[in-house]
Structure 1
Amino acid sequence: MNEGAHKIERKELFGHPMGLYILFFTELWERFSYYGMRAILVLYIISSVSDKNPGLGWEESDALALYGWYTMLVYVMSIPGGIIADKWLGQKKTVLYGGLLLCAGHGILAVEQMWAFYTGLILIVLGVGGLKPNISTMVGGLYGPGDDRRDKGFTIFYIGINIGALASSLLVGYIGETIGWHYGFGLAGIGMALGQIVYMAGQKYLEGIGEKPESVIKTNEAGEEEMPSNMLKQIFEKPLSRYVTLAIIALGVYLIAVEGIIGYGILTIALSFGIGVIMVIYQDITQIERDRMTVILISFLIVIVFWGAFEQAGGLMNIYTKQKINRVVMGYEIPASAFQAVNAAFIILFGTAVANFWVWWKHRGKESSSILKMSMGTIIMGIGFIFMAIASQQAGTEVGAKGMLIFLILAYLFHTLGELSASPVALSFITKLAPAKYVSIMMGFYFAATGLGNKLAGAIGESAQAEPIKVEVKAEKDQLTQFVADTTIENGHNFELHGDLTIVNQNQINVDKDGQNLSEFIVLNEENIKTIRTRVNESNEKDLTAVIKFEQDEEKKKEVDAPIQAYKAEVEIFELENDREFSTFMLIFAFTAGFGILLIMFLKKLKKLTHGAEDTRKGSAHEEQEGFEVADKEDDDK
């Protein structure tokens, strides 16, 4: 930051620089656009192309996989975004260009074309990467060293973030679900455009903040060594890091070339360089610093585990809310996306209380280290999935049953309480332990760990969805009208039928509904029958229900004469699907709770490895007063 920036006389409002409010509204609208789009993204992807509000019609597992990749890349791109600002453009211009990319991305998403969908997501990833890591740094630059208003300034800034997240989930979610998905994306884009206008119009209040760096400082005032400028070169110069990195690269190449798993192959290759960098750093630091690095790596694992579970909110839990939670309150069915606002609302309600609890806890002489807070936060967050499991049991009583809304709310409450304990201290803890010349690299790894947590969330959600059993429809309209209205088929509406599943023999499966064998309405080939038999044999359930979902195929519709001929179908075994979701929720709870407890058991040893890094406090007496950001991991630059 330009030292002269602190000497500039700044116009103030309510005791703070006007620039704070420019950044406040910029970030409010940026988060409005991001969380609004996030609230409806998965729901849009899985909505049938023949629905009244048509989506892409993807399978749920595919939608959750894309969601994982997208949210991972959003945070991973913060690394180059920070580097570009620090080395070339400065924070101010990087935020400006990032905002323009976001405006373009959200605007393109409003176009109902597949090229627009992918292009929009790519531009949003790039835009968030440029804006998110740098705008918080600019907030800090508004205040000089030792300025007591700095903590309050960040508090105001984070209030804007949560207001944006709260409002967007309600407004964008409502517009997207009730009027049209692309109208929702368009509204998110309008929000980002407003933020960009505020930012560009308020440049005079940001004079001297986040300017283009005049030079790259190689040695700081303490005389610390220059940070290695070519880390990749060092990876391959040292034998151990070279062999390990090449071995992991070979694994990535194998996944791509032999298994055809391109995405995970590329991810494996990227991880190989990260592991190589860690190995190079380990060989370059003192024993005390190595001990602290060990704790940092463990904290990265906490970050991955925490966000891998927490980010089910935008994926699996979002779908579950849409399909299997009773959202009717006083005769009105609340849109599923609206519940993405619950986390933000709870942060606003309980953020100060949780922060004050930890201050009170410490003043009583109790253990209050960052590792404890992160561990307890992970456990508390995991408890929330018990309530999702209870809701799953309720929804599993019969086809069409739904879980009670209160259990979804309780799940979000515990997720938020866990976030408020774990998230605010994570980044500051890492910066305290990291070797001075590698702090920037460790911050990059923190964002990468956050991204991996998001990808893990998508993978977990994907695993909770069984591969659909796709079948052809052979029923005539007259056969189906005893179960559905004529107009349902004539108008091409989707519908489903269910009946008792019985395996008659090796080659025959019956689905009985009121004496009618529904399996006669579809074509079950040998592979379909084998899949059903395998799933039934793996289950402990005795009484099983088969659900046949009929969906109109828009492409097929153009080629046939009768409406019924345009339908395609899928078969799912209701009890097995429900058991799979219940098991996923319980496994997330068991793993997060077990992981957190294990860390607490080794807390003394872990604290010893920090060599008192948390014992020395710098700055104000507020110690670790951090901002709370809804479902956001960058508690940046405190």
Structure 2
Amino acid sequence: MSDTTLKPHQKELWGHPVGLYILFFTEMWERFSYYGMRALLTLYLVQKTTDKNPGLGWLDQESIMLYGWYTMLVYVMSIPGGMIADKILGQKKAVLYGALTLVAGHGILAFDEMWAFYTGLILIILGVGLLKPNISTMVGGLYKQGDIRRDKGFSIFYIGINLGSFLATFIVGYVGEKIGWHYGFGLAGIAMLLGLAVYLYGQKYLINVGNKPTLEDKKNDVSIGKLLTDLLKSPVHLGIVGLIVIYAFYAGFTYSGVDNWGYTALYIFIGLVAGIMMMIYKNLDTQVMKDRYMVLLLSFIIVIVFWGAFEQAGGLMSIYTKNNTDRMLFGWEIPATWFQSLNAGFIILLATSVAGYWAKRKLKGKEGSSLFKMAIGVIIMGLGFVFMIFAASEFNSKGSSGMQWLVLAYLFHTVGELCASPVALSFITKLAPVKYASLMMGVYFAATGLGNKVAGVLGEKASEFGEYTIFAGITIFTVIFGLLVIALLKPLKRLTHGAEDNERIMHDDEAEGFELADN
């Protein structure tokens, strides 16, 4: 069949569905807006109110605390976002409404008022919660089961994420730091409008994915309400959740921090999610599905560990860059936000090479399972903090540290991320029960959010223990954790029951396209 006789959603470009590139550019502009705002957030919070470009004048610890809560909630809201898509809207409309909410949120942040600041943050949290899990689910839906191009498709999609991040940290970062924080926030909103325009234009290429659930889908699906009802009928599982809730209230009364009741709400939320996860396991039909589900839950733990270390970039490492790093180059001081672009820049340069390496390795029969890649990613990322240890040591002895340590740290973090993060996204679409696909993607992003909160907690501790101790502790823990996953790899792979063993090129013409994309 020639390309001219194909319907728009059947057409391919460079070996992948055209819909992938629509989602690529939609996500690129969404990430431009998000990472542009993220690059400015902690620096805006700590900037003194008396400076030429005044900020809010918060303490480092307070700023990192808000950063941790904000970035956690951005991803935790993916759970209700996934549920709304599964039950009501479908992924396609959920992405649309999420994009509209993000435009409103970033636009409100352009106003220099505290009400606008908090309102904008809330709208961004809600918008990302609708958009983020569902656009990723749509990427997975573009490929048939067993299509080896799926991992490569997610890696291409990942380039879009990081192209947006790369451009944002340069452009929005410079505008915010040098011209005005709220001009930077407003510029992020304009970028989100571009993403919305691309998405609306490309609807004809997405006809076959993300559609509103049919009556049959709803009939065969199990609602969250029913899962919670089943939980109330299960004394053992209800008891586990009850213990978590009791501890949550205990923490609220005894924790001395200003965000004590925030932790109470977090623990209650974790308890309810744990209960829902237990009920899903109980309701799965076969042992194969249950075994795969357990491996999927383990992958969420890997995700929490990974992002708990990696997300120091937007918090502790961002403030460290501004306060402790010698940023002078040929007599000009490099903006602190620009260093966050290193991660995105390295991803753009290395993403297809890393994905191609793993794909060729697997085709040759060598170990290339998703769990192995994720474990290697955690180890490599953790080793990146060795360079931050060197930086902290140099600062302690000389009063400032060289930029080269940040460059090397971000390089290792990026390689680790490329091994772990896009693979984790793809892994979920392989193992998740079909009727819980969006919910599981939401739980993945919630795990990412919990990792962000862990990162915030660790960053807060730097004021107590010092950066050197925090960076050293992260290095040791992540390497040991990654090695432990590798040690357990064989029994874990058995529990997947060959979910990745049958991946293959679907057709000869697709194989040609895959090789083209790889080059």
User: What's the TM-score bracket when you normalise by the shorter of the two chains?
Assistant: 0.7 to 0.9
Question: Superposition pairs for residues 7-46 of structure 1, below 5 Å?
Answer: 8-9=7-8, 22-46=22-46
Cα distance in 2 between the residues matched to 1:209 and 1:430: 17
Q: Secondary structure of 1:465's partner?
A: helix
Alpha-carbon spacing, 1:187–1:143, altered in 2? closer, same or farther (3 Å): same
Considering fraction of residues, name the structure with more strand.
1
Alpha-carbon spacing, 1:403–1:154, altered in 2? closer, same or farther (3 Å): same
Consecutive unaligned residues in structure 1, runs of 5 or more: 1-5, 467-578, 627-638
Provide the residue aligned with 1:270 in structure 2: 269
Following superposition, the deviation at residue 257 of structure 1 comes to 4.3
Number of residue pairs matched by the alignment: 502
Question: Given that residues 378 and 416 in structure 2 are in contact (C-alpha distance below 8 angstroms), is that contact kept between their aligned partners in structure 1?
Answer: yes
Question: Given that residues 376 and 418 in structure 1 are in contact (C-alpha distance below 8 angstroms), is that contact kept between their aligned partners in structure 2?
Answer: yes
2:412 partner letter: F
Q: TM-score, normalised by structure 2?
A: 0.87
Question: Given that residues 227 and 438 in structure 1 are in contact (C-alpha distance below 8 angstroms), is that contact kept between their aligned partners in structure 2?
Answer: no
Question: Superposition pairs for residues 247-396 of structure 1, below 5 Å?
Answer: 247-257=243-253, 259=255, 261-285=260-284, 286-396=286-396
Cα distance in 2 between the residues matched to 1:342 and 1:172: 15
Alpha-carbon spacing, 1:436–1:97, altered in 2? closer, same or farther (3 Å): closer
Considering fraction of residues, name the structure with more helix.
2
Provide the residue aligned with 1:407 in structure 2: 405
Deviation by residue 1:331-360 (Cα, 9 ceiling, x = unmatched): 211101011111111111111221222234
Provide the residue aligned with 1:615 in structure 2: 501
Indicate the structure whose relative CO is greater, using CA pairs within 8 Å and at least 6 residues apart.
Answer: 2
Is 2:226 the counterpart of 1:230? yes
Question: Superposition pairs for residues 381-530 of structure 1, below 5 Å?
Answer: 381-398=381-398, 401-435=399-433, 438-466=436-464
Cα distance in 2 between the residues matched to 1:366 and 1:599: 18
Question: Given that residues 48 and 57 in structure 2 are in contact (C-alpha distance below 8 angstroms), is that contact kept between their aligned partners in structure 1?
Answer: yes
Question: Given that residues 42 and 315 in structure 1 are in contact (C-alpha distance below 8 angstroms), is that contact kept between their aligned partners in structure 2?
Answer: yes
Cα distance in 1 between the residues matched to 2:211 and 2:488: 45
Question: Given that residues 133 and 441 in structure 2 are in contact (C-alpha distance below 8 angstroms), is that contact kept between their aligned partners in structure 1?
Answer: no
Provide the residue aligned with 2:57 in structure 1: 57
Alpha-carbon spacing, 1:138–1:273, altered in 2? closer, same or farther (3 Å): closer
Cα distance in 1 between the residues matched to 2:175 and 2:30: 18
Following superposition, the deviation at residue 281 of structure 1 comes to 3.6
Provide the residue aligned with 1:213 in structure 2: 213
User: Higher mean Cα deviation, 380-389 or 255-264?
Assistant: 255-264
| Partner residue of 1:241 out of 229, 234, 237 | 237
Cα distance in 2 between the residues matched to 1:137 and 1:86: 11
Q: TM-score, normalised by structure 1?
A: 0.72
Cα distance in 1 between the residues matched to 2:403 and 2:396: 15
Question: Given that residues 86 and 439 in structure 2 are in contact (C-alpha distance below 8 angstroms), is that contact kept between their aligned partners in structure 1?
Answer: no
Following superposition, the deviation at residue 44 of structure 1 comes to 0.5
Provide the residue aligned with 2:490 in structure 1: 604
Question: Given that residues 152 and 355 in structure 2 are in contact (C-alpha distance below 8 angstroms), is that contact kept between their aligned partners in structure 1?
Answer: no
Cα distance in 2 between the residues matched to 1:217 and 1:420: 34
Cα distance in 2 between the residues matched to 1:281 and 1:22: 33
Cα distance in 2 between the residues matched to 1:162 and 1:413: 14
Provide the residue aligned with 1:108 in structure 2: 108
Cα distance in 1 between the residues matched to 2:176 and 2:163: 19
Deviation by residue 1:63-103 (Cα, 9 ceiling, x = unmatched): 11111111111111122222222322233332222122111
Cα distance in 1 between the residues matched to 2:26 and 2:436: 31
Cα distance in 2 between the residues matched to 1:295 and 1:212: 29
Following superposition, the deviation at residue 311 of structure 1 comes to 0.6
Cα distance in 1 between the residues matched to 2:405 and 2:345: 17
Larger radius of gyration: 1
Deviation by residue 1:545-579 (Cα, 9 ceiling, x = unmatched): xxxxxxxxxxxxxxxxxxxxxxxxxxxxxxxxxx6
Root mean square deviation of aligned Cα:
3.2
User: Higher mean Cα deviation, 265-274 or 209-218?
Assistant: 209-218
Question: Superposition pairs for residues 172-183 of structure 1, below 5 Å?
Answer: 172-183=172-183
Cα distance in 1 between the residues matched to 2:343 and 2:316: 16
Provide the residue aligned with 2:517 in structure 1: none
Alpha-carbon spacing, 1:428–1:588, altered in 2? closer, same or farther (3 Å): same
Following superposition, the deviation at residue 194 of structure 1 comes to 2.6
Cα distance in 2 between the residues matched to 1:295 and 1:446: 13
Following superposition, the deviation at residue 41 of structure 1 comes to 0.6
Provide the residue aligned with 1:562 in structure 2: none
Deviation by residue 1:438-471 (Cα, 9 ceiling, x = unmatched): 55543332222111111111111111123xxxxx
Alpha-carbon spacing, 1:263–1:107, altered in 2? closer, same or farther (3 Å): same
Provide the residue aligned with 1:78 in structure 2: 78
Deviation by residue 1:385-413 (Cα, 9 ceiling, x = unmatched): 00001011111114xx2111111000000
